[in-house]
Structure 1
Amino acid sequence: MDLGTLITQVADNYDRNDSMDSAAQVLLRSAGTELAPLARGYTIVGRGGMGQGAYVPWIAVFDPDETETATRGLYVVYLFAADMSTVSLSLNQGVTDARKQWGSKARGRLADQSAAIRERLERSLITGLAETIDLHNTSQLPGDYEAGNLVARTYTIASMLSEQELRADLHRFIQLYQVAIEVRDGLAVSNPAVIVSPGPQPTLESQAEFKPKNSDDYIQTITGRTIRKSRKHETLVKEYGEHLIATGFDANTRVHPRDLVATRDDDEWLIEAKIVRKGNGVNAVREAIGQLLMYRKFVCPNPDGVRMLALFNEPVGEACVELLEELQIASVWQDNDHWVGSPTAHAAGLASAGAA
């Protein structure tokens, strides 16, 4: 279902006095499935209350590396006004945990954090976006959502934008989401008193480091370091691996530190997946090139017979694709519900435009 259609149908049919089995409530709960192709690697959840209908139903987009609940952290959310006349696409913050911790002071604390993050965002990133939203209800949660808003764009249900415009706005907010997380984390160090919704704590993981001595052998050293594991990365690898299996490849993810190895007949592919952060395809490509070349030379049993592919969660730009091709590295990226590949990838049958 299209994004605009889902939003409009919810607004046209929602009544908080209806049962949780009403058409609008069922549609809200289906948002994660219906809209999944629009934000791969993110978790989409729709809710209209628990047991009783909410004044303000919502559809949220969570970065699983940040949060998977609207109670804490930062997230992108469509907030329907209580009278269903508008819906606001908002970069917001968890209000429930703040309310538990700060009580009656929570709303002021949420507003302070919103202002602090917004002040440090580049003006060009938030041009044309509103600092406030009006959910047309004075109850506690709607008021907290209004205080938690960093930036927003509000749509009138009766004159909804085109599907293309809605998707472009969602993509913009998802990119802004990543910037806001970095700004918030910086504030947590420089001005911790203003932070109400801190991010998840890094965990201690083992990460392989390769220290090649010569072309004949290498030393693999496992060192403990504090890192934040990315679930978006894991989702990207999982989904592409499933796609490869469906197209006749054998795919193997148990090849640490490599992300993925795929084989079919006499073809063997070394695949490195990268999340493009804040639209910076150059950094993602740079990292992919370095790891692919290193892993092929020092990890693969038969380096000369291995082909390389860089996998991305979004396009990295024509110039970057051309550079990868020059280095004999194919590339594939996600485009909504399609896998799109560079010429080398197309020729190898690894992916094709329009393939699910």
Structure 2
Amino acid sequence: MSLGHALRRIVEEYPLARTDPPAGHPLAHVIRKGAPDELRRALAPLDGPFLVKGSPGRGSHWAAVPWLAMFDPAVTTSATRGYYLVYLFPAHREAVHLSLAQGTVAAIREHGARAGEHLRASGVRLRQRLSDFSDALPVTAITLGTSGELPEGYEAAHILGVTYDLDALADERRLHADLATGIAAYRALKAWGGLDLPVLR
């Protein structure tokens, strides 16, 4: 299995998989184990360390939006806070987003109903700092096709990235190149001071 094949399996199989319980489901295993293993292999030449996790949901419930994320442990070890690079799988179309994203749950806890507004404003500011990556990671807004606090938070938390349709997932070379660019942007954001950036004048 390649990275592209793992991503494609999640895109194609997730809608049907959600009609069965996640416990012991083969696709849940792919998201938790198979896809993270492929992502670790793809990250190996990029001089980590990176913590890689995949989530199909919690307990007996599938996630509205499954994800496959990579974390710099010096920044965060969780999708709830800080910032990280993540593959997000929209519910409404056969596609996957590679997103440099801000932690959503921490923003919701701190800002409540204004979390989306805060995250979007922060994203605008961060994109200014990461303007060198705007051509290679041109997608500045994503849609996930489902309502709810977390999916809408993920949309608001997006900074920049790439969106792939199913055909694009066959291009393993492009996936690896974009992953390297995403990691470079992640590291650049860390070098700039992360989310605690001064307002540009």
TM-score by length of 1: 0.51
Q: Secondary structure at the match of 2:19?
A: coil
User: What is aligned with 2:127?
Assistant: 118
User: What is aligned with 1:2?
Assistant: 2
Q: Number of aligned residue pairs: give it.
A: 189
Shift of 1:64: 1.1
User: What is aligned with 1:179?
Assistant: 188
Q: Is the Cα contact below 8 Å between 1:155 and 1:161 reproduced in 2?
A: no
Q: Deviations over 1:167-186 (max 9, x none)?
A: 1100110011011123344x
Do residues 61 (structure 1) and 62 (structure 2) align? no
Q: How does 1:1-356 map to 2 (within 5 A)?
A: 1-14=1-14, 15-20=17-22, 21-30=24-33, 31-40=35-44, 41-51=49-59, 52-121=61-130, 123-128=131-136, 129-185=138-194, 188=196, 190-191=198-199
Q: Secondary structure at the match of 1:75?
A: strand
User: What is aligned with 1:330?
Assistant: none
Change (3 A) 1:159 1:170: closer
Q: Is the Cα contact below 8 Å between 1:82 and 1:137 reproduced in 2?
A: yes
Amino acid at match of 1:171: A
| Whole-Å separation in 2 of the counterparts to 1:160 and 1:34 | 14
Where has structure 1 moved over 6 Å in runs of 4 or more? none
| Whole-Å separation in 1 of the counterparts to 2:103 and 2:29 | 24
Q: Is the Cα contact below 8 Å between 1:74 and 1:181 reproduced in 2?
A: no
* CA RMSD after TM alignment: 1.7
Q: Secondary structure at the match of 1:68?
A: coil
Shift of 1:43: 1.1
Q: Deviations over 1:43-83 (max 9, x none)?
A: 11110110200111010011111111100011000000013
| Whole-Å separation in 2 of the counterparts to 1:184 and 1:23 | 40
User: What is aligned with 1:290?
Assistant: none
Q: Is the Cα contact below 8 Å between 2:12 and 2:94 reproduced in 1?
A: no
Q: Deviations over 1:188-236 (max 9, x none)?
A: 2635xxxxxxxxxxxxxxxxxxxxxxxxxxxxxxxxxxxxxxxxxxxxx
Shift of 1:158: 4.7
Q: Deviations over 1:311-335 (max 9, x none)?
A: xxxxxxxxxxxxxxxxxxxxxxxxx
Change (3 A) 1:162 1:184: same
Q: Secondary structure at the match of 1:89?
A: strand
Q: Secondary structure at the match of 1:49?
A: strand
Q: Secondary structure at the match of 1:54?
A: strand
Amino acid at match of 1:50: R
Is the radius of gyration larger for structure 1 or structure 2?
1
Q: Is the Cα contact below 8 Å between 1:79 and 1:87 reproduced in 2?
A: yes
Instruction: Point out which structure has higher relative CO (alpha carbons under 8 A, 6+ apart).
Output: 2
Q: Is the Cα contact below 8 Å between 1:60 and 1:76 reproduced in 2?
A: yes
Uncovered stretches (5+) of structure 2, i.e. residues with no partner:
none
Amino acid at match of 2:134: I
| Whole-Å separation in 2 of the counterparts to 1:152 and 1:18 | 32
| Whole-Å separation in 2 of the counterparts to 1:57 and 1:84 | 13
Q: Secondary structure at the match of 1:44?
A: strand
Residue identity (%): 33
Change (3 A) 1:184 1:108: farther
Identify the structure with the greater helix proportion.
2
Q: Is the Cα contact below 8 Å between 1:17 and 1:53 reproduced in 2?
A: no
| Whole-Å separation in 1 of the counterparts to 2:165 and 2:159 | 20
